[in-house]
Structure 1
Amino acid sequence: MKFSYKFSNLLGTVYRRGNIIFTPDGNSVISPVGNRISIHDLKSHKTSTLPIESRYNFVALDLSPNGNILVAINEQGDAFMISLVSQTVTHKYRFKRKVNAIKFSPDGKHFAVCKENNVFVFQAPGPFTGQYNGFVMERVFHNFYDETTCLDWSFDSKILAVGSKDMSIKLFSLGKWDNFKTYALGGHTDVIVACFFEHKSYDITTISRNGQACIWECSIDPDGLLPFQEPIPKKKQKPSHELQEDDVDLTKVIERSEEEISKHLNQLDIDDKEENEKNKKKEKMYYKRLARHYLADDVRKESKDAVLTAASYHKATKVLVAGFSTGAFFIYELPEVSLIHSLSVSDEKISSIALNSTGDWIALGCGGLGQLLVWEWQSETYVLKQQGHSNNMSCICYSPDGQIVVTGGEDGKVKLWNVTSGFCFVTFSEHLAPVTAVSFSGNKKFIVSASLDGTVRAYDIIRYRNFRTLTTPRPVQLSCVAVDSSGEFVAAGGQDVFEVFLWSVKTGRLLEILAGHEGPVWSVAFNPNVTSTILASVSWDKTLRIWDAIEKGSDHETIELSADGLCVTFKPDGEEVAVATLDGQITTFHVRTATQTGSIEGRNDLGSGRSDTDLVTAKKTLESKAFTSLCYSADGEYLLAGGQSKNVCIYNVKEGLLVKKFEVTQNRSFDAVDDFINRRKMTEFGNLNLIEEREENEGGNVAIRLPGVKKGDMAARSFKPEVRIYSLQFSPTGEAWAAATTEGLLIYSLNLGLVFDPWDLEVAITPDAIRQAIKDDQTNALVMAVKLNEAGIIQEVIENISVNDVELTLTNLGEKFAERLLIVIASALESSRHLEFYLVWAEHLLTIHGPKIKSQKNMPGLIALQKGLTRKYEELSKLCDFNTYTMQCILRASANRQALEKEKAKGNIEGENETSSSSDEDENIMMFNYD
């Protein structure tokens, strides 16, 4: 098994804080998600996360006009210049203070940054400026009395407008202009939220937090800026006694004729007239306020405390979108500020608004709910509607084919995520309390979830409905749930009542109550073997109990543990069980003999950071850490473990050794990431991080945190959570694993092309030798390619073999080579265009070597093959359905046309009606073809 797992995607969280932006083509939305950045492709309906991680959460970002350079700045002022072509960080810069806004100029030559009460203008690297250093500062503007909040460039990138908390907007120019100097616009009575220049004009619209919108008109046209010219120094006249021979004497001028003097005077008059005309054109630039509008009046009818929190403006169509703290947004048309449309998204404030290049799509981000919406305002439809768990994600589970991940959260919701697209497509919100566990059935037809509200709910993932609600005789807080391999029985353990409950899915009846535990039942698991109904449960009473309730009722076998049991999981073959205990150990037991087969001491591998409230060191805190989630790999040889830390460990079960450790986050915005607290922050009164800097929140109310709350402060909604891994699971294909963490759902997958992992390699086996062997002996070439174990080489050999020779080639292939060839064909089926060709290979491979392939050892390959076939089937079925309906429509239109022509031949329809109906029919066909 390979261990070159790399971070591939972030699910479960679509938006946290900061500003969201559209790409120049308008088809993708770039959203900051904590200390990472996600790109949501609206055209192909996929989401991807850049492999870039900051030490703190991103709060400001902007994209260059050509879409190649992304500048992202985190909450500590660390700026990253990211190339979206290579998806790498090219330059870094430290502002050392909070940055409120960043904006590229329309020509792509500069970008401006708002920091404190200053504005910094940098040269953007690229062919426009000839500058390839990252952050080359060009200008700094200091004329503010408070923090700068927003900025905008004029269409020609000559003038920069900057808004501030001092309720003023100031205009600056990069170059020197004869009729323009730094200009200030006043009249607002609250913090400036946004300012926008008009299209091909210097007119400007400014918006403040209390909803005031001011329309300003510029006195000059876009061509009215005059370049600044340095005055020409006058030459000193020489005194008369110093005149030389070449100088002109005054006496000679007097001797000129009268005609020359008159011509000279006329020329002077013409020059004076031209100078006067230039002075008239040389008007100084000033602004006149045309109107003031109160946008908040529309929303304050329902809420008096509503304030404007975000705004965006599309200059070409003159459409203004304003978002408020109540979750409502309004669409206006400027300059009349006439209301076009209004909609309420949620009860949380709108943190960011963006418009795409055409002005049709509006992207809205709500930080409180982690919600991201893309709304098409003309058709009033959602292009994208995604929302993560508003509180921590507590549990996850893969579907049997690895295509879907189900998550449960402390917000009481159950969500289904498509691993390929990265989007949530179903949300179940029937639970009334936090969801503690979720599980998929073996046939992929339904999922079950347990909650602290005392119910286990079963959801049909075909019709997307809650078809069973399983309850207990008396109210019990359920902490865990499991489904057997046949999908007939469901078991759940109680947290306050120390019993295990067993239900039938078909009838919904409670079959058995398994009593015997003397502490909270924290984890249950069914044997994955189809022929077995054995159930294992662990509790805080330091016991592991193995039940066979279907066959023997309440009879069970008890195994004493070294400490409180936290998690139990079965090996894929059902012969072994692994248990994580409170002392940081992982112990394995044989199910039939109840004997211990191995032990792993994992406490030192967990690693532990020091929280801001800890009074002891991280080394001492480590003694209280333990693994809370376990999962076997698909082949059963390795164990994935995670718990109360930022590290995920992979152990070899047989040897009991640590194989690899993954650090899931470096985000210092979370608590307990660092092992040491900076001594500069330690005072005689404690840690300075615990001092709460309260700013006036939106709406004027300051939320005070509740003391002692650690699982998400419902009062303030702004807490510093501790890094923790709540749940882990390997993908059934073995190519990826997922972790439910404080950040969200992290997906780590294998990149087979990056690691050279040969198998039974010989000196004579090289890519050139393999290509040469294709011409001589195809079976030998395939064996050599499998030994080299390069997916690209194996695929090249397969595609050079004729379809007629596939059966003969696989017949001569050895069994051990056929097992490895299965995974390559499964991956090729998912990515290659030669669908029928690889289907022939898969059919002959399973027909010839299927009975000899060991099912358990090659289960990941078989599941990967099933996953690839299912995905291709879904893609092709949509295309085939579309083509079927299209053909039906064309045939129906053709039948109507033939019937109409028959009626024409009989003469039953008059000429005018015939021509009009036929023209209507032609028009309908043309419209259909156009659609």
Structure 2
Amino acid sequence: MKFSYKFSNLLGTIYRNGNLIFTPDGNSVISPVGNRITVYDLKNNKSRTLSLESRYNYTNIDLSPDGSLMIAVNEQGDAHLISMVSCTVIHRHKFQTGVQCIKFSPDGSYFAVARENLVLVFSAPGEITGEYNPFVLKRSFLGGYDEITWMDWSTDSKFLAIGCRDSSTKVCGMRRTRNFRTYNLSGHTDAIVSCFFEANSLDLNTVSKNGQLCLWECSMEPSDLMDDDQTGPPVHKRKALKKESESESEDDVDNNVEKQTVKKELETVGEDQNELKDEGIKKSHPFFYKKLGRHYLANEPRKEKRDALLTAANYNRSTKILVVAFSTGAFYLYELPDVNMIHSLSISDYPISAAVFNCTGDWVALASKEIGQLLVWEWQSEQYIMKQQGHSSEMSCIAYSPDGQYIVTGGEDSKVKLWNTQSSFCFVTFSEHTSGVTGVQFSRNKKFLVSSSLDGTVRAFDIIRYRNFRTFTSPTPAQFACVALDYSGELVVAGGQDVFEIYLWSIKTGKLLEVISGHEGPVTSVAFSPVGTSSTLISGSWDKTVKIWNCLESNSEHETIDALSDVTCVAFSPSGEEVAVATLVGNIIIFDVKSATQVVTIEGRDDLGGGRLETDVVTAKKNAQSNYFSTIEYSADGECILAAGKSANICIYHVREAILLKKFQITQNHSLDGLNEFISRKHLSEFGNMALVEQREEFEGGNVAIRLPGVRRGDMSSRRFQPEVRIFAVRFSPTGQAFAAAGTEGLCIYALDKGVVFDPFDLTLEVTPKAAHEALKTRDFTKALIMSLKLNEPNLVTLVLERVPYRDIELLCADLSPDFAQRLLQQLARLLQSSPHIEFYLQWCCCLLTTHGNRDGVFQHTALLALHESLSHKYEMLNKICDYNKYTLRVLLERSDKLKDMKKSEDNAQNEDSDSEMLLISRQEDEALEADFSEQSEEETDEDNEEDDDAA
């Protein structure tokens, strides 16, 4: 088994914080999810998370007009210049403080960055500007007296509108002109939320936090403004500055340039204003703005909720439609300049954090950070293009479907969600539970799943009809901490947390069959044997014991194994012969089920590692001594164990050798608590750690930095502490190609990257790609196929398979040995996911399984499951296409039948006409022949009579 697992995707976290952006084509929306970035493809109904990662959560992102570059800034002001072609960070820049807004100019020449009350305009790297040194500062502008909240470029990229928290708006020009420098707009009574230029004009629309919309008309067109001869600082000053800063770092140079430019800007502010006053009198065409009107948006609904505030707004210049979102969860669409409301909708009870239109103005994306919701709404048809929401609190448990196509998650928010691993979207949410979900598991036939909850119920959900068809309860109220299904899917068992008993129900009847007693502490984990012929049940408890039950014969017959410590998790091996037990001391103990003897002990406490929380009074080294594994899982082949716990690390151990094979760190996000090993000195004072001091507001209420005592999994009160990094559950995919880890950030998927890893099989000197191509030229397909399988290069295998004639597939499958047949089946399972030649590869699969399937041990369980997953995915895709087109096909078929009938009737009519014509012609010919014959006979009789007369 190989361990080249790479980060593949992030599920369960849809949106965290920051702004949203659409791609230039308008078909994808990009959302920051913590310290990562996710791209949602709305056209193909897929999502992917970029593999890059920041040290802190992203708060602001923007995309260049051509879609090739993206700038993302995190909480600490670290800016990343990202190439969307290679999805890598190509440059990093450090700002002194956090950034409020980023905006690319429409022509792609500049991008503006707002930090505090200062706007920095940089030259964008690329072919447009000819500048390939990123973050080259061109100009800087001073905003208002408070923080900048919004920026917008004019259509010609020559002017910049800056909205501030002090209710003022400033219009700045990129180039100094004779009749314009800067212009201040004031007329709002609250902070500016957004401001937008009109298309091909300098007319401006401004929206404030209290719902006021002001329309401004400019007295001049952009073409009327004359540029000065001198733009920017002189060349010799730039050269001198460059020479002085050669020994300094790049960030220090930028900061010095910023300081000097800001100083110069402050000195010239007064001069600019005086010049504007004088020039306004002298010039015949002065530059000024006129307020056309002030409108109060959504005034009537907001009267009922006086605390409602406008939280987000966006404007589409082409359609002239404005969307405004409020803290009540409602958004409104207005048509400008008449300010006619054309649509209103309430999507939740929580504030909407971001709103943005796509380029055509047909779709509007809305996001709420309180509940992690993101939706795309098509306002003309009033339909959801996408509606996704993650768990509002931590995921507590996960499970793969038997074919690896679906993942089910249960959270502390009492919801059960189903995710598609191919599209990475949640397609159904079950909300029947009323408390946190503690365990989930799929049935082997993939028709239903079961979940246990702290509300005292175990529920069975039908995956086909999406409904809760069974609810299991105990005679006395109990909180269930774990759940398990047997191999046949007929029995479900759950362990109590407050009642130290195990309950066994029948899925078909819903009746309670047995109440299994024997534990003296909370039952933390239960597991059925994965072998169909066995009814063995394993249970682990805090009473430091593991019990083996034969639940079908008698509930009293059991064998007790002393684990010497509290049991946190148990897991069966795929063969059903061994069971792994994780204990509170950080060990993983392997027991033989039949003999109940200890086989191997894995000591993994030191492998987990430990961080130090901000409020900890002990060191990270001391914290590591209390770490333990809270979740374990066997690999598909049973050789390795995946383990994780209260840490950011995931460990893979070899069972027989009891050694650590590889360790993965799921996150580097320092916005979470528990990653640092040492406390920064800036947080220490003469009184101790400042994180231990409660920070209360003026009236002793509100935001407190310290969590409630004893809280381990999230704080439900309105407190602002950092979430603690930890992993709640890990699961291997049944195909063995990926594993999933549910942590604080969401559901991380790690997959094998077969395209990069060089993994040959039985390689010799004569096996080369050139030799395989030569064998193809001589039509020696068997030799070429074996060489490609030995090299294990996907592109070469695909080339050889598609060169084989359709009639020779069965003959080639018969010539392969069992080892190569197993590898070929894995390649076919991979190719079926993306190839359009479905029937061709299905013929390969049928011939391969028919030829080698009757032998025992030829095909591994993982290869067959991978093939099943690919076929299920293809079936669902074709099934949707057929369901969508079946009525169209029916109409076309009926139309074709009607056309055929009409053609037949026309042909019959033509045939009848031709037959009648032929009959008429034949009759006329017959009559003519008869007439000729009668004339001829009369002539003959006349001649005979004449002869007779002559003879007489």
Give runs of aligned pairs for residues 589-604 of structure 1, distance below 5 A: 589-604=591-606
- Map 1:197-208; keep pairs closer than 5 Å: 197-208=197-208
Pair 1:736–1:694, CA change in 2 (3 A): farther
State whether residues 112 and 121 of structure 2, in contact with CA within 8 Å, keep that contact through their aligned partners in structure 1: yes
- Equivalent residue for 2:239? none
Q: Which moved further from structure 2: 189-198 or 278-287? A: 278-287
Residues 372 and 718 of structure 1: CA distance in aligned 2, closer, same or farther (over 3 Å): farther
Q: 2:360 aligns with which of 358, 375, 385?
A: 358
Q: CA deviation at 1:675?
A: 1.2
CA separation of 1:883/1:88 partners in 2, compared to 1, >3 Å: closer, same or farther?
Answer: same
Q: Give the equivalent residue in structure 2 for 1:809.
A: 812
Q: How does 1:147-546 map to 2 (within 5 A)?
A: 147-229=147-229, 282-546=284-548
**2:126 pairs with 1:123:** no
Residue 789 of structure 1 is matched in structure 2 by 792
Aligned equivalents of 2:794 and 2:906: distance in 1?
A: 65
1:137–1:696 distance in 2 versus 1, CA, 3 Å: farther
The residue number in structure 2 matching 1:241 is: none
Partner of 1:70: 70
Q: How does 1:632-647 map to 2 (within 5 A)?
A: 632-647=634-649
Matched, 1:845 2:812: no
Equivalence for 1:18: 18
Distance 2:823 2:160 in 1: 62
SS in 1 for 2:93: strand
**Contact 2:148 2:165 survives alignment (8 Å):** yes
Q: 1:882 to 1:186 in 2, by over 3 A?
A: closer
CA distance in 2, matches of 1:626, 1:561: 14
| Equivalent residue for 2:672, pick from 655, 670, 673 | 670
Equivalence for 1:96: 96
Matched length: 859
Counterpart check, 1:772 vs 2:774: yes
Instruction: Please list the CA deviations of residues 41-65 of structure 1 after superposition, one character each: whole Å capped at 9, or x if unmatched.
Output: 0000000001110011111011111
1:581 aligned onto 2:587:
no
Rounded Cα–Cα distance in structure 2 between residues aligned with 1:197 and 1:696: 40
Q: What corresponds to 2:708 in structure 1?
A: 707
CA 680–717 in structure 1, closer or farther in 2 if over 3 Å, else same: closer
Deviation for aligned residue 1:284: 2.2
Shift in Å, 1:188: 1.4
Q: How large is the RMSD of aligned CA atoms in angstroms?
A: 2.4
Q: Which one-letter code corresponds to 2:376 in the other structure? A: V
2:40 corresponding residue in structure 1 = 40
User: How far is 1:553 from its partner?
Assistant: 2.5
Shift of 1:447: 0.4
Q: CA deviation at 1:710?
A: 4.2
Q: Is the 8 A contact 2:218 2:289 kept in 1?
A: yes
Q: Name the CA shift for 1:730/1:143 in 2 (closer, same or farther; >3 Å).
A: closer
Residue matched to 1:136: 136
Contact residue 727 and residue 744 of structure 2 kept, 8 A: yes
Q: Distance in 1 between matches of 2:304 and 2:8?
A: 44
SS at match of 1:25: coil
Q: Does 1:858 align with 2:863?
A: no
Q: 1: distance between equivalents of 2:782 and 2:378?
A: 56
2:253 counterpart residue number? none
| Equivalent residue, structure 2, for 1:826 | 829
Q: What's 2:928 paired with?
A: none
- Distance change (3 Å), C-alpha of 1:115 and 1:301: same
CA distance in 2, matches of 1:858, 1:870: 19
Asked if 1 retains the 8 angstrom alpha-carbon contact of 2:143 and 2:162, the reply is no
Q: Alpha-carbon deviation of 1:755?
A: 1.1
SS of equivalent residue, structure 1 residue 368:
coil
Alpha-carbon displacement from aligned partner over 1:57-93 (angstroms, at most 9, x marks no partner): 1110111111111111111110011111111111111
2:922 paired residue number: none
**Which deviates further from its counterpart, 96-105 or 466-475?**
96-105
SS at 2:722 equivalent = coil
Letter in 1 for 2:708: P
User: For residues 574 and 561 of structure 1, what CA distance do their matches in structure 2 show?
Assistant: 19
User: The residue matched to 2:599 in structure 1 has which SS?
Assistant: strand
| Residues 712 and 719 in structure 1, CA contact (< 8 A), matched pair in contact too | no
Alignment of 1:897-912 (within 5 A): none
Q: Is the 8 A contact 2:704 2:720 kept in 1?
A: no
Cα 1:902/1:815, change in 2 over 3 Å:
closer
Counterpart of 1:679 in structure 2 is 681
Q: Measure, in 2, the Cα distance between the counterparts of 1:298 and 1:90.
A: 50
CA distance in 1: counterparts of 2:600 and 2:556, whole angstroms: 28
Does the 8 Å CA contact 1:485/1:528 hold for their aligned counterparts?
yes
CA 1:85–1:568 in structure 2 vs 1: closer, same or farther (change >3 Å)? same
SS in 2 for 1:786: helix
Shift of 1:281: 7.2
**Alignment pair present for 1:798 and 2:823:** no
CA distance in 1, matches of 2:182, 2:86: 40
CA distance in 1, matches of 2:904, 2:790: 70
**Residues 695, 704 of structure 2: 8 Å contact kept:** no
Given residue 558 of structure 1, which amino acid in structure 2 is its aligned partner? T
Question: Is the Cα contact below 8 Å between 1:299 and 1:328 reproduced in 2?
Answer: no
Does the CA-based 8 Å contact 1:627-1:644 persist in structure 2? yes
* Stretch deviating more after TM superposition (440-449 or 717-726): 717-726
Q: 1:105 to 1:702 in 2, by over 3 A?
A: farther
Contact 1:299–1:306 (8 Å) recurs in 2? no
Contact 1:300 1:306 in 2 (8 A): yes
Q: 2:869 aligns to what?
A: 867
Cα distance change, pair 761–695 in 1 and its aligned pair in 2 (3 A)? farther
In structure 1, how many angstroms separate the alpha carbons of the residues matched to 2:775 and 2:199?
65
Q: What amino acid sits opposite 1:816 in the alignment?
A: D
The amino acid of 1:788's aligned partner reads L
Structure 2 letter corresponding to 1:445 = K
Q: Could you report, residue by residue, the CA deviation over 1:249-272 in whole angstroms, capped at 9, with x for unpaired residues?
A: xxxxxxxxxxxxxxxxxxxxxxxx
Q: Which aligned pairs between 1:621-636 and structure 2 lie closer than 5 A?
A: 621-636=623-638
Partner of 1:30: 30
Query: Could you say if the C-alpha distance between residues 634 and 23 of structure 1 is closer, same or farther in structure 2, counting changes exceeding 3 Å?
Result: same
Q: Which moved more, 1:877-886 or 1:166-175?
A: 877-886
Measured at CA, do residues 80 and 230 of structure 1 come closer, stay the same or move farther in structure 2, by a change above 3 Å?
closer
Structure number with greater Rg is 2
User: Residues 612 and 619 of structure 2 are in contact (CA less than 8 Å); yes or no, is this contact kept in structure 1?
Assistant: yes
Structure 2 CA distance for partners of 1:64 and 1:815, relative to 1, 3 Å: same
Which residue of the partner structure matches residue 750 of structure 1? 752
TM-score in terms of structure 1 length: 0.89
Aligned to 2:52: 52
Q: Is the 1:401–1:864 contact (alpha carbons within 8 Å) kept by the matching residues of 2?
A: yes
Offset at 1:782? Answer: 2.6
Query: 1: CA distance between counterparts of 2:689 and 2:204?
Result: 46
Question: Residues of 1 paired with 2:789 and 2:904: CA distance?
Answer: 66
Give the deviation of 1:776 after TM superposition. Answer: 6.2
CA-CA distance at 1:126 after TM superposition: 1.0
Q: What's the CA shift for 1:766?
A: 1.4
Aligned partner of 1:922 in structure 2 is none
Q: Kindly indicate whether the alpha-carbon contact (under 8 Å) linking 2:695 and 2:703 is maintained by their aligned counterparts in 1.
A: no
Alpha-carbon distance between aligned partners in 2 of 1:718 and 1:464, rounded to the nearest angstrom: 37
How many Å apart are 1:98 and its aligned residue? 1.2
Task: Determine if contact 2:708/2:715 at 8 Å carries over to the other structure.
Answer: no
Give secondary structure in 1 for the equivalent of 2:625.
Answer: helix
Q: Which residue of 1 aligns with 2:269?
A: none
Is residue 92–residue 134 contact of structure 1 (8 Å, CA) maintained in 2?
A: no
Query: Residues of 2 paired with 1:719 and 1:322: CA distance?
Result: 31
Hey, what's the Cα distance between the residues in 1 that align with 2:877 and 2:505?
Answer: 37
Q: Judging changes above 3 Å, is the alpha-carbon distance between structure 1 residues 736 and 143 closer, same or farther for their aligned structure 2 residues? A: closer
| Partners of 1:580 and 1:627 within 8 A in 2 | yes
Q: Distance in 2 between matches of 1:798 and 1:904?
A: 50
* Secondary structure class of the residue paired with 1:655: coil
For structure 1, which runs of at least 5 residues remain unmatched after alignment? 232-277, 907-931
Distance 1:448 1:668 in 2: 36
